[in-house]
Amino acid sequence: MLGRLSPEAKETLARFMQPSTIIGLSILVGIVALGVIVPLASPYDPYATSEDVLRPPLSEGPAWPYILGTDSLGRDLFTRIFYAVSIDLAVALVTVGLAVSIGMVIGLVSGYFGGILDSVLMRIMDVLISIPGFMLAIAVAAALGASLFNAMLAVAVVTIPIYARLMRGVTLSVKEQLYVTAAKEAGLSSFRILFRHILPNAMAPLIVQSTIELGNAIIYIASLSFIGLGAQEPQPEWGLMLSTGRKYLREAWWYPTFPGLMIFLVVLAFNLIGDGLRDALDPRLRGTLKIRRSIVWQLLKSET
C-alpha cells in the first residue's frame, strides 16, 4: 500500500505518524472497536438486572463469564462499559462539534468584519470566559434540568469562547495577507473569502484544539453526571457508573474502577493524538526541528 503513495504523501504520513499519535490512535481504535463489537456480541442486556449482584471480575456467569464483574444491580459491567463507548464518544463529538461550529462562526465574523461587531462579540466571549467553565456548566445544566442532552449543551456553551478566540486570531492574521487582499480586490464576496481562503488556514489549529477538547468534554460530561446533572439511571454512561459505583468502592472495587479507567484511557488517547497533531501541524516547529536539536546538543555538550 505504502509503496504506491507519492513521495509527498509518504512524507506527510510520516510527519503525522508521531509515536504519540500512534499510541493514542491505537487506544482509541481499540476502544471504539470493542464499543462496536461488544454490544453486538455480548449475551447480556445492559439494562437487565439479575441476581448476580456485585460479582468480582472473571467470575462465572450464565453465558459469558463476567469479565469485569457485575454492578450493584447484577448487570454485566463489561457489556455496560462498552455500550457506554458510543454514548460517551457521541456526546463528546456532538458537544465539541457544536462548540466548534458556533465558535468558528463568531470568530470568523468578529475577525473579518471588525468594528463594533467585533468588540461586542469579543466582550461577550470575555464575559463567558471569566466565569470559570465548570461552574458555568453546572449553572447552565442545573437551569436546563438534569439530562445528558442538557449537560452537552452546557459544556458546548462554556467552550465556545475557546474556538471563537482562536478563530478570530487566525482570521486577523490571514486577513491582511496578500492573497486575501487580492481576493477582495477581485470582487469576491465576503462569504467566499471567509470560507475559501480564511477557513482553510484555521483548520490546523482548530483540529488540534478540538482533539484536546474532546478529552476535556468527556471529563466535563462525566463530572456533570457524577454530581447528578448528566446521564440518568439506567443509561450506561461512565461518569454515572463511576458515581453510583463510588458507594461500593470498598466492597466492589471493580464497579467504579473500570468506568474510571475508561474515562482516563479515552482522555489520554485524545491528548496523545492532540499532541501528535500539534507537533505535525505547528508550522513553527516544522523544519526547525533538526537544527534545534543539534543546538541543544552542542549547548549541553560544551557546558559539561
Other Cβ atoms within 10 Å of 227 Cβ, number: 14
> In this structure, what DSSP letter does residue 253 have?
T
Q: How many helices (H) and strands (E) does the chain have?
A: 12, 0
Contacts with other proteins in 190-219 (CB under 8 A)?
215, 219
Report if residue 237 touches other proteins, rule: CB under 8 A: no
Report if residue 111 touches other proteins, rule: CB under 8 A: no
Nearest Cα residue to 155 out of 236, 237, 87, 214? 214
Shortest CB 37 distance to other proteins, Å: 24
Nearest Cα residue to 202 out of 107, 97, 272? 107
In this chain, which of 104, 239, 254, 277 binds other proteins, going by CB under 8 A? 239
In this chain, which of 69, 107, 133, 236 binds other proteins, going by CB under 8 A? 133
* The three cell numbers locating residue 97: 462539534
* The three cell numbers locating residue 64: 459469558
In this chain, which of 1, 115, 130, 176 binds other proteins, going by CB under 8 A? 130
* The three cell numbers locating residue 22: 500512534
Rank residues 54 and 188 by Cβ distance to other proteins and give the closer one. Answer: 54
In this chain, which of 5, 13, 233, 286 binds other proteins, going by CB under 8 A? 233
Shortest CB 146 distance to other proteins, Å: 6
Q: Name 76's bridge partners.
A: 70
Contacts with other proteins in 50-79 (CB under 8 A)?
51, 53, 72-74
Q: Which stretch binds other proteins (CB under 8 A): 168-176, 184-192, 203-211, 266-274?
A: 266-274
Spatial contact of 206 and 105, defined as CB atoms under 8 Å apart: no
In this chain, which of 18, 20, 42, 95 binds other proteins, going by CB under 8 A? 20
Report if residue 150 touches other proteins, rule: CB under 8 A: no
Distance CA 103, CA 110 (A): 10
Report if residue 49 touches other proteins, rule: CB under 8 A: yes
Buried b (16+ CB within 10 A) or exposed e, 40-64: eebebebeeebebebbebeeebeee
Distance CA 12, CA 130 (A): 39
Query: Which residues here bind other proteins, judged by CB under 8 A?
Result: 20, 47-49, 51, 53, 72-74, 123-124, 126-128, 130-136, 138-140, 142-143, 145-146, 215, 219, 222-223, 226-229, 232-234, 239, 242-244, 246-251, 253, 256-257, 260-261, 263-264, 267-268, 271-272, 275, 292-293, 295-296, 299-300, 303
